[in-house]
Structure 1
Amino acid sequence: MEPTHAEENDGTGLNRRDLIRAGTIVGLGALVTSVPLFAKSPAAAAAAPGGPEPSAPELKLTKFKDPLRIPPVLRPREHGGHDELTVRLRTADVTVHSELPPVTMWTYEGAYPGPTIETVSGRPLRVAWENQLTGSIPVTAVDFGQAKGPLPDPLSNYPGTEGCQEVAGVSALAPWAAVHLHGMLTGGGNDGWMENLIAPGEVQLSAYPNKQAATTLWYHDHTHHVSRFSVFAGLAGMFVSRNAEERALNLPKGEQDVPLILADRNFAADASGALTGRLLHKVEMVGAQRLMRAHAGPYTLVNGVVWPYLKVEPRWYRFRIVNTANSRMYRLMLLADGRPVAGAFQVIGGDQGLLDKPVPVDGALNLSPGERAEVLVDFSAFRGQALKLVNTLQGVTPGASDKRNDLLEPDVMQFRVVDRKPNTKFTLPAALSPTFKRVTDADLPQGHPTRWIVVAGPGSGNLPELWEMEEVDAAGLTFPSAGIVQVQDAQGAVKTLRRTAMAYDDGNALTASQHGVEVWKYLNLAAAPHPMHIHLAHFQVLSRENYDVTGFDRVARGSTRPVAFKAASVLEAHELGEKDVIRVGTAGQITPGPNGTPGELVTVVVRFPVVGRGVHHCHMLEHEQHMVRPLVVSPAAHLHAGGHH
């Protein structure tokens, strides 16, 4: 995101662009002021359609009343052979809607989302993350539920705490922090290890090699056990790296290169029902076992604004979309006159950079927590019209609500296309990154390790589980047995898998060799999809396959008969590139009943270029404390030195 005109002059008489060109911009704690997009652009002055709309009456806020904000931009300063930057964690009052009191949040540099850190790929970066947070966490955590099962219209659809009970131990949480630059390939000592916390007044020093393709990453708090609350409190921001390959494409830039940082929130209310602006983490506990449903807030925020609008010109735009929600998956569609716009999104990149060519989206763009997608959208056919970006569910009319599935208000934001002659200077390129290559089975080295990771539904602890598995001989085993899963592949061959670990502190960490290549097979036996994230590594997705998982006994926690291949599935556009998060499980509406949605087997090829101690885990933050396992990457020679293994 290049600075807008309003960002150019900081009031000191110094022009930031001149300083940037001279390589002398102050990056250590200095940042550009956050402003609405197009603060001084001609499009803002031109007439545009659309306008505010009422939301669901219970939500009390007007949709599309406030303009989209663009996060401030931070650029590091050069220091010899590397760049340096200081980012301060600060408690601040943030305006997220003009009809809502300012919201107290934990932030990076006083902004939510935090400033966009913009770098040049290949320039090593050192960041000092200074913890200047004050006060206890600015979040009220509550839950609700009934013994007989889920509610048809859960209270999480609405603001306020009526009918809820407070979750013990949250309100007094002190501002410890651990910053993770999600998707950056850096050693374990710089990755933001979730137990290496910094207190107020302390500094986390992280060195990032930044040897990656031009891409969109994000940074967030990773404090062990409580990240679902600390990220919810506001500790998230975007990271962008650029390179010559990307610039040569002449993609939309400046005001046409727009971040869309998605999140959902809920807010407390006073005795009269008026919203107070206090952040409210509110979840449903289902049945007598009190199974926690995934968090879902009724208010959608884009760049920290509730249901914003954006004035656009009739031309191509580049949108960098990041799902920073705790657990909500966004199935995004663009509507014109209430109908989906066919092929609205041309996906040009995913988690880790550009694809080899643009890929149109047929249907919804599905982004699970932690995932990113870069898309191009052409507004030239919609001059003088208003369009909506909506979140939808499979089987639900796009733009319609679904209270049972946490979709009371499906609208995300509004685009107002000014009525002027379209700008036709940009042409969609036929090719994008010449250096990107899709991995195939033929590219895998002989003898590569294969790991099985099973996602199981709630067990005796009433929580979803993440199982690491090993292949064993079935001889002498009885079925069902806890932790024993048999899998029948497309050729009819049956493998028997035995659980080796599932809790965070179960035995040894999974260990990989630096520069090694492994195949990981994620098998989802649960009803809900889970976004799986691997630290210290990147991967590509080889395949998605549907499996019949009715042979898995959820009570016995093992197979009565093999879970069996049903059919191959199709990878989505943003899943064709380099990844660090992958959704395992169908993206559609969860089907009630004992078997839920069909099981999925997702196969990925993982590479480990850096060393250190990290983790692999589910990126639904409500699952992060129990669906997480240690991961260690070591130099290959160290693994076998002196005859030890």
Structure 2
Amino acid sequence: MEPTASEAFEPSGLNRRALLRCGTMAGLGALVAAAPLLKSQGAVAVSAGAGGPEPSAPELKLTKFRDPLRIPPVLRPRDRGGYDELTVRMRTADVTVHSEMPPVTMWTYEGVFPGPTIKTVSGRPLRVVWENRLSGNIPVKAVDFASPTGRAPDPLTNYPGTAGTQEVAGVAGLEPWAAVHMHGMLTGGGNDGWMENLIGPGDVQLSAYPNAQAATTLWYHDHTHHVSRFSVYAGLAGLFLSRNEEEEALGLPDGARDVPLVLSDRNFDVDESGALVGRLVHKVEMIGPQKLMRAHAAPYTLVNGVVWPYLDVAPRWYRFRIANAANSRMYRLMLLADGKPVPGALKVIGTDQGLIDKPLAVDGALNLSPGERVDVLVDFSAFRGQALKLVNTLEGITPGASNKLNDLLEPDVMQFRVADQRPSGRFVLPETLSPTFKRLSHEDVPHDRAPRWVVVVGPGSTNVPELWEMEEVDPAGITFPTAGVVQVRDAEGAVVTLRRTAMAYDDGNTFTVAHGSTEIWKYLNLAASPHPMHVHLSHFQVLSRENYDISGFDRATRGSSRPIAFKAAAALEAHELGEKDVIRVGTAGQIGPNATVGELVTVALRFPVVGRGVHHCHMLEHEQHMVRPLVVSPAAHLQAGGGGHGHH
């Protein structure tokens, strides 16, 4: 095969030339099956550090830190002159996730979970043939269980198997339809993986990606309408990396020290003896007489498709590209040494859409909601001969401690074993990362038109959370509370009255925006839990996060009896200061009811591509009912048609 423009960048996984010889990776499945828990080549040369396997909670039956972290194989496109080209096949495969249990049947990209990491060069247009070769019905057993008197103090979601549950009707027979969304790629609506344009086995989805954006970490995943919570859970997810000269000039850790960490949680079935079997179980708790569905959570944490892995590292700087690919779990990550948090250990250098201007140390925990990515650097040179843990924790508990009530029976994520050798390498943390990145200022955002309002509301008559699109109205003549009407009092005391214009996916009044425009969107969370909001066809910066008293919202009437009132400004987190495509709206990791604590997050969105897309909650269990269409149209078309800012 002829060299491609991207071959200057060495992969951190399997041998580059061996993969290139595979063409469209016809032999990749057999290659990975032969080495189900293969380490990266560079990691093999690192001397073993301290640490070792540890027992997990007895009910979980698996040993922690027994298996090495698996680095996903790398796919690079062919050079076709003015663009690059790639074929990626979906197929059913048996995947080893832990050496102490049988392989798990999954729907995959190219036979591996997560799918191969696609590596490209920014500015090189890319065409991908997504080929559906999946077989059989969905390899997921979906069950739920009732807690009629309220949340269970130790819910069944903490444990494997299906005892005490009932099967969810209609899931077992799902056939392998698919729609691939390149999450974060700024591509037009026709190539975005529209969730209703499905392909069946033997069919292909042809997608053209401009790839005209900053060097960054994106991810691709299934986006099939109504059932993405099951299809992604079945294994249809993988990473996409792009590089450019600006990033290369920084001399960041590369090769085996540039490590992807794809986080997810899964549950598995057991046989009659209680032993784990290779079948995925999607289990949720239904609370109270209304049977309100809790956010999905599973007891086994997977990193790059391995349950509680370990990674041998040298006492040097490493780069970790962390992606939360879980259905609904929010990861509140800390690095522990000797059981205690290491302050500032994680240095954020990039966010969803690329590098930021300067490194930022994480103060406390790194909160990562589903769909978010973060690029961090970690220096292990001070920990030679030690073992460190990356853990998931919750606010209000000791980092590394268990919490059954909140589905955290086993908080460990992975182990780092630092070699007992002299630190090597001359990497110095750059003072400046991306000179082209710029935080938006007051002058950069529009002030001549009203912002868009999107309000997240707790379960109503349909027993599921709701996403309301709103418009500002004159309060004259309105009796409060009125269903679908919310008043908000800001920090200056000004009150705005909002009326719901759309809620269900097929309601009218679609947000229609002008191509090339910048808009202000305000996300107000009136629910008791956080929600990660994702907007297709755009990228944005977060301008502010503010706490609001939402006790004035009448949950029975579904409107405000008195204004939702500003309480205090809140700080943005380090990974929220760059270019984004997902933002958490609501407090992360909080224990206990927060029914009177709301949050208003203001973002400035840019729309560089045109077409029809969606904006939605990225908790996949909410995606089918917290999703609304979005249309980006050439400005001249809007003017010629008599449209403009507002609704279509």
When the two structures are superposed, what TM-score results if normalisation uses the length of structure 1?
0.96
Distance 2:132 2:268 in 1: 26
Query: What's 2:121 paired with?
Result: 120
Secondary structure of residue in 1 paired with 2:15 = helix
Q: Distance in 2 between matches of 1:486 and 1:449?
A: 15
Secondary structure class of the residue paired with 2:208: strand
- Rate the CA distance shift 1:220–1:644 in 2: closer, same or farther, 3 A: closer
- Paired letter, 2:292: L
Mapping for residues 478-627 of structure 1, pairs under 5 Å: 478-592=479-593, 595-596=594-595, 598-627=597-626
**Cα displacement (A) at 1:450:** 1.0
Looking at structure 2, the residues matched to 5 and 571 of structure 1 have their Cα atoms a distance apart, in angstroms, of: 34
Pairing 1:467-486 to 2, within 5 Å after superposition: 467-486=468-487
Q: Which shows bigger deviation, 315-324 or 44-53?
A: 44-53
1:137 and 2:145 correspond: no
> Displacement of 1:597 after TM fit?
6.0
CA distance in 2, matches of 1:238, 1:464: 29
Provide runs of 4+ in structure 1 moved above 2 Å: 1-6, 25-47, 642-645
Shift of 1:247: 0.1
SS in 2 for 1:145: strand
Cα distance change of structure 1 residues 597 and 474 upon mapping to structure 2, 3 Å threshold: closer
2:54 is aligned with what amino acid? E
- CA shift, 1:80, in A, is 1.8
Alignment of 1:173-572 (within 5 A): 173-572=174-573
**Structure 2 residue 637 is the aligned partner of structure 1 residue 629:** no
Q: CA–CA distance in 1 between the matches of 2:643 and 2:512?
A: 14
Q: Deviations over 1:531-568 (max 9, x none)?
A: 00000000000000000000001111011100100000
Written as runs of structure 1 = structure 2, the 5 A alignment for 1:51-200 is 51-200=52-201
Distance in 2 (CA, whole Å) between partners of 1:354 and 1:41 is: 25
Amino acid at match of 1:469: M
Q: CA shift at 1:440, angstroms?
A: 1.9
Per-residue deviation, 1:591: 2.1
State whether residues 449 and 518 of structure 1, in contact with CA within 8 Å, keep that contact through their aligned partners in structure 2: no
Q: Give the aligned residue type for 2:177.
A: W
Residue pair 2:43, 2:313 contacting (<8 A) in 1 also: no
Q: 1:41 to 1:71 in 2, by over 3 A?
A: closer
8 Å contact from structure 1 (residues 28, 85) kept in 2: no
Cα drift, residue 29 of structure 1:
5.9
How many residues align? The count is: 632
8 Å CA contact 1:91–1:110 kept in 2: the answer is yes
The alpha-carbon deviation at position 5 of structure 1 amounts to 8.1
Question: Distance between the aligned counterparts of 2:102 and 2:39, measured in 1?
Answer: 25
**Secondary structure of the corresponding residue to residue 58 of structure 1:** helix
1:311 is paired with a residue of what secondary structure?
strand
Cα deviation code 1:48-80 (max 9, x no counterpart): 210000000000000000000000100000112
For residues 641 and 374 of structure 1, do their structure 2 counterparts lie closer, same or farther at Cα, with a shift above 3 Å needed? same
**Gaps in structure 1 of 5+ consecutive residues:** 20-24
Match of 1:22 in 2: none
Cα gap change, 1:597/1:297 in structure 2, threshold over 3 Å: closer, same or farther? farther
Give the C-alpha shift of residue 44 in structure 1.
4.2
Output one character per residue of 1:11-61: Cα deviation in whole Å (capped at 9) or x when no partner: xxxx95xx8xxxxx9457676955767555476462421000000000000
One-letter amino acid matched to 1:458? P
CA distances 1:598-634 after superposition (whole Å, capped 9, x unpaired): 1000000001110110000000000000000000000
Correspondence for 2:10 = 2
What secondary structure does 1:80 align onto? Answer: coil
Distance 1:44-1:442 versus aligned 2 partners, 3 A rule? same
Closer, same or farther in 2 for the Cα pair 1:29/1:473, shift >3 Å?
Answer: farther
Q: Partners in 2 of 1:503 and 1:562 — Cα distance? A: 25
User: Aligned equivalents of 2:409 and 2:25: distance in 1?
Assistant: 43
Q: d(CA) in 1 for partners of 2:48 and 2:619?
A: 41
Residue 89 of structure 1, CA deviation: 0.3
Cα distance, 1:9 vs structure 2: 5.2
Show CA shifts across 1:321-375 (max 9, x none): 0000000000000000000001010000000000000000010000000000000
Tell me if the contact between 1:182 and 1:220 (Cα under 8 Å) persists in the aligned partners: yes
Deviations 1:399-440 (Å, cap 9, x if unpaired)? Answer: 000000000000000000000001141000000000000012
Q: Residue 506 of structure 1 aligns to which amino acid in structure 2?
A: D
Q: Counterpart of 2:640 in 1: which secondary structure?
A: helix
How far apart, CA to CA, are the structure 1 residues paired with 2:25 and 2:46? 35
Q: Secondary structure at 1:228's aligned position in 2?
A: helix
1:212-231 C-alpha deviation (Å, 9 max, x unpaired): 00000000000000000000
**Structure 1 range deviating more: 424-433 or 288-297:** 424-433
Identify the range of structure 1 (291-300 vs 632-641) with the bigger mean alpha-carbon deviation: 632-641
The CA distance in 2 between the partners of 1:497 and 1:428, in whole Å, is 47
The 1:537/1:248 distance shift into structure 2, 3 A limit, reads: same
SS at match of 1:69: coil
How far, CA to CA, are the matches of 1:127 and 1:278 in structure 2? 30
Q: CA deviation at 1:507?
A: 1.1
1:445 CA drift (Å): 3.2
Distance of 2:424 and 2:582 partners within structure 1: 36
- State, as a whole percentage, how many aligned pairs show the same letter: 75
